[in-house]
A and B are shown apart, each in its own frame.
Chain A
């Protein structure tokens, strides 16, 4: 077994262990929230009933149906057993919809919103940051403070301001939802147009913050690399500027790639605020609803999905990074 395979196996072990801990927390934390999900649901169902016995019966039925009458440890066992069979359980709040169905309907919205936004923001941010570092002058003097400014506004403030300005005041874009309410999702130009109109504002808000953060990071990294000794040395050997610039930007990009992978990993979880502000029908909105209703299986399902994507992204970066950057590879080998 070579050093890299050994490293791979060892890292995989660590990530599995982390996943197990995450599983326990996913299960446990929602159940530690004060309150009882069944009492709300039972009171809704038993509206109009006067007989306290039948109300109690409804309550107990739900307790049994949801399986929360048993001790926690038994519930955990059942949860794990179902999980290994690919069953995330049944939602309490949207009973009897399956959690996996809800997630499956929400994931495309979240990914469809976040993935292009993060990619576009990341690419634009890095290009702008690199150009600012390389060209300096007026371009840098305008871009850098602007990026700092945007990056310093809390995201929810920015999102609400955009919603207010473009949605409510100027009425350029709709203010909530993933598509017009009166439509049913289907394949038509009209529906796609509606989706795009609803998509634009949340998309732009994410692009804007991503550009800010990435441009600042890339600018700093590029300035650092541009002043590295190898730049001068390479130029003094007659290597043309464009080739030296390639060295610089490749090296400056490395930490930025980590940033991209991390933000793709946290994409699902990071969408929470954006989706709530724009009432976008993705994972974030569902998680928010689930927490308000103490919908244990749905909360656990959402957080499990988030944990999985974060772990997977981190694992992928660690594996790829070792191949791209020889310094990190050396450090990885030493660990073994």
Chain B
């Protein structure tokens, strides 16, 4: 990342604190063809405050994308809802009917940017016509010309050419398509925007443009808060205020971006940071280390800490019973060891 991206990150001063999204003990699972349940999101709880960007990181298959989809309250086979609540604007969206959810929540309160934004747009529909279709659902009182005016205005504000509106998706470049998808997703000023790997398929220049756009959306209050999901931890340092690390369907640690990157507590976060290729200051001294082993099979109930089998510090106590969250200041992490013990281990490792 370049230094000016850091500036964007730091110039963004969060406003008054108010919770816009609160998730409690959310459990969702996939049903396989053999009727087995894969618990991809297994008891996730967190709250998101207004003006904040929350980063969610983790390796492939940890449940990040499933969590993103689950947050929308919209479930379709093979993904199923098991239990838990998702509160947006004082409403538990899991209590709504499908039709109420569609009319009141989707696109209005919470919006989504899919992982492969390249294919997120219908290839035979012009951008404007797609926006018209969205407005027919949520703002039926607007005329076509009002919608056109509104969309053009929003595109101009976000430094996108209004000409894009008359284009078909295939006429746009990858980066442009991604920014267009972001502009479309936020056109109704949703409280929460869930972005699932929005930059993963892009080159560095386009990545920068996308991140700038996301920052701008918060800055201009078009969205109240952002959930940014990625496997690139260092990217989150520039984007997120807080970072959550997910492992095997659970949140293992949450803290501020700075804390999580430079001073991780949970052994998994520590290992994750150690396995990243980043030519960045303060981080270049470390050797690249892969995490041995593989994540546990989520089809079965897991006793004890889910990371125990891959953790070098695992003790017998780690392998039995429920591992509770520990709170240390703003930090929450799921491990039986205290910060002091962990830090000592990490320090001795580096010697």
Binding site for B on A (CB under 8 A): 228-230, 232-240, 243, 247, 250-251, 254, 324-327, 330
**Contacting pair B74 A235 (CB below 8 A):** yes
Number of A-B residue pairs with CB-CB distance less than 8 Å in the complex they form? 76
User: What chain A residues lie within 8 Å of B130 (beta carbons)?
Assistant: 234
**Contacting pair B171 A239 (CB below 8 A):** no
Task: Give Cα A250 to B129, complex, Å.
Answer: 15
Our pick among B103, B116, B170, B184 for the contact of A238 (Cβ within 8 Å) is B103
Interface flags for B86-113 (1: CB within 8 Å of A; 0: not) read: 0000000000000000110111100110
A233-B120, A238-B108 known; A326-B170 Cβ under 8 A: yes
Task: Give Cα A238 to B105, complex, Å.
Answer: 8
**Contacting pair B170 A236 (CB below 8 A):** no
The 6 nearest A-B residue pairs measured at CB: A238-B106, A326-B168, A238-B107, A229-B119, A237-B107, A233-B120
Interface size class of B (residues with CB under 8 A): 20 to 34
Main secondary structure of the interface of A (DSSP, over half): helix
Task: Give Cα A164 to B134, complex, Å.
Answer: 57
Binding site for A on B (CB under 8 A): 72, 74, 102-103, 105-108, 111-112, 114, 116, 119-125, 130, 133-134, 136-138, 168, 170-171, 181, 184-185
**Contacting pair B111 A237 (CB below 8 A):** yes
Our pick among A239, A251, A254 for the contact of B134 (Cβ within 8 Å) is A239
Our pick among A230, A236, A250, A325 for the contact of B121 (Cβ within 8 Å) is A230
**Contacting pair A234 B122 (CB below 8 A):** yes
A251-B122, A251-B123, A330-B171 known; A236-B112 Cβ under 8 A: yes
User: What chain B residues lie within 8 Å of A229 (beta carbons)?
Assistant: 114, 116, 119-120
Our pick among A236, A240, A247, A326 for the contact of B171 (Cβ within 8 Å) is A326
In the complex, the chain B residue whose C-beta lies closest to that of A228 is B119
Task: Pick from B112, B119, B122 the residue with the most CB of A within 10 Å.
Answer: B122
Task: Give Cα A325 to B124, complex, Å.
Answer: 6
Task: Give Cα A330 to B123, complex, Å.
Answer: 12
Task: Give Cα A251 to B125, complex, Å.
Answer: 10
Task: Give Cα A228 to B114, complex, Å.
Answer: 12
A236-B112, A327-B170 known; A250-B124 Cβ under 8 A: yes
User: What chain A residues lie within 8 Å of B103 (beta carbons)?
Assistant: 238
**Contacting pair A237 B74 (CB below 8 A):** no
Task: Pick from B103, B123, B137 the residue with the most CB of A within 10 Å.
Answer: B123
